[in-house]
Amino acid sequence: MGVRRADGSVEQVRVGTAVRAGDGFRLTLGELSIGGTAEAAPVRRAAPAAGSEAGGGGAGGMVFPPYGRSKGQPVAGASAQDLEFYASGCRRSLADPAKSRWHDKERVLLAAIEAEMARQRGGGGFDDDAPPPRSDDDMPF
């Protein structure tokens, strides 16, 4: 998202993370605030595109970090035990203010892990072909 500064320059600001989910995407929005003064954020380069060479395997190219038994392996298709292990590591890092330097990266990884967990559980996603939920208007009287 482009944000215009007082000096007229435009800064690109990340407001969330999109993870491929079937034919579409699951968007996880970050912490947002309207009004007030925002803290200055460091300028970041864009992350590699999903499926790019730098990204690695499936699930939008996300791979596990270089620790644990599945280091460097794709998030897509990982065992539930591995997904929980790495999700727990992400949550620990996100809870530690001393590791704020890596929080953006951890949020992206956690979103990919949670999307894979939801995919393996069989959903949680929106199905465009599903009929709308029943309401009181559908009841035969």
Domain presence at residue 26: no
In a domain, 138, yes or no: no
Whole-prediction pTM: 0.48
In a domain, 130, yes or no: no
Does 22 map to a domain?
no
In a domain, residue 35? The reply is no
Work out the widest C-alpha separation in the chain, in whole angstroms.
65
Domain presence at residue 74: yes
Instruction: Give the C-alpha separation, 21 to 134, whole Å.
Output: 25
When divided into structural domains, the chain yields a total of 1
Residue 24's beta-bridge partner residues? 21
pLDDT tens readout for residues 20-54 = 777 877 777 766 565 555 555 454 444 444 443 33
In a domain, residue 82? The reply is: yes
Range of the domain at 55: 50-124
Q: Distance between CA atoms of 108 and 27, rounded to whole angstroms?
A: 11
The reply to whether 81 falls in a domain is yes
Q: Which of 123, 82, 103 is nearest to 17 (CA)?
A: 103
Q: Contact at 8 Å (CB) between 116 and 109?
A: no
pLDDT (tens digit, 9 = 90+) per residue, 69-121?
999 999 998 999 999 999 999 999 999 999 999 899 999 999 999 999 988 88
